[in-house]
């Protein structure tokens, strides 16, 4: 499974990159708004640090605006993936960008039917937001299971990018289902490696080693 970091913060991206497990980055307008530099400048910097795909989101809701923004974003670097909202106009933009060999990430996916349509349109990635479904008492992971089954039925090439991840269990459950990618905040990446028994065991090994040297 590939690991993406869900942030526009360059320091956090560099930290994850230095851990040796980072495969890509996802950003969105809300994450970009937390940073001081303009969105496109941040994206250019991120693309210098990360070799893998970097999702950059359009804010237009009409086809023409999405295409204009998509072309501008794609020019920033070769590894930019244009993030398009999953609405009817978005499907049209995904289809055209796909025909132009520009990669797309269909975002704000909350249902199997949306996932089916974006795959038919040629999206490179589908981003179901599981944490936001959990927030409204709906099992986000059940959506992942359904989309994986649908994509396997028809051998769609669209990669499953599990988004809105809030905790390590989300990552483990997505891995058990065979999801291609999880995107998560740095805090979740850090939680994945931590275990109190590891810390207790390590402390004891170091203490015993010191005793043995006396
Ligand atoms: O990148 C989009 C997604 O991961 C958003 O997550 O936590 O705002 O629901 P969240």
For residue 128, report the distance from its CA to the centre of ligand 1, in Å.
9
Residues 77-104: pLDDT tens digits?
Answer: 999 999 999 999 999 999 999 999 999 9
Q: Which residue CA neighbors atom 10 of ligand 1 most closely? A: 164
Residues 5-25: pLDDT tens digits?
Answer: 999 999 999 999 999 999 999
Q: Which residue among 46, 164, 166 is best mutated to probe the pocket of ligand 1, counting the most ligand atoms within 8 A of its Cβ?
A: 164
Q: What is the mean pLDDT of residues 39-64?
A: 97
| CA dist 29 → 26, 55, 83 (Å) | 11, 11, 11
As a whole-number percent, the residues of the chain with pLDDT over 90 amount to: 99
Q: Tally the domains of the chain.
A: 1
pTM of the model: 0.95
pLDDT at 161 over 80: yes
For residue 90, report the distance from its CA to the centre of ligand 1, in Å.
19
Q: Work out the mean pLDDT of the chain and round it to a whole number.
A: 97
Decide if 2 is catalytic.
Answer: no
> Which token pair is 48?
């210098």
The CATH number for 18's domain is: 3.20.20.70
Residues 97-154: pLDDT tens digits?
Answer: 999 999 999 999 999 999 999 999 999 999 999 999 999 999 999 999 999 999 999 9
d(CA 94, CA 83): 9
Strands (E), 62-201: 80-85, 104-109, 125-128, 159-162, 181-184
Domain holding 55, by residue range, is 2-212
């Amino acid at each position: 499974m590939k690991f993406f970091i869900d942030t526009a913060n360059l320091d956090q991206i560099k930290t994850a990159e230095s851990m040796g497990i980072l495969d890509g980055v996802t950003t969105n307008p809300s994450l970009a708004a937390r940073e001081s530099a303009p969105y496109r400048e941040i994206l250019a910097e991120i693309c210098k640090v990360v070799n893998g795909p970097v999702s950059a989101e359009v804010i237009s809701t009409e086809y023409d605006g999405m295409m204009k923004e998509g072309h501008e974003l794609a020019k920033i670097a070769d590894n930019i993936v244009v993030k398009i909202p999953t609405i009817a106009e978005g499907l049209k933009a995904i289809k055209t960008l796909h025909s132009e060999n520009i990669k797309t990430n269909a975002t704000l996916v909350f249902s199997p039917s949306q996932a089916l349509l974006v795959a038919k349109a040629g999206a490179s990635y589908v981003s179901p937001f599981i944490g936001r479904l959990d927030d409204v008492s709906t099992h986000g992971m059940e959506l992942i299971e359904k989309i994986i089954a649908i994509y396997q039925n028809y051998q769609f090439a669209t990669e499953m990018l599990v988004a809105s991840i809030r905790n390590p269990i989300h990552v483990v459950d997505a891995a058990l289902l065979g999801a291609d990618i999880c995107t998560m905040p740095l805090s979740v990446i850090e939680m994945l490696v931590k275990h109190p028994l590891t810390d207790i065991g390590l402390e004891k090994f170091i203490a015993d080693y010191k005793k043995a040297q006396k």
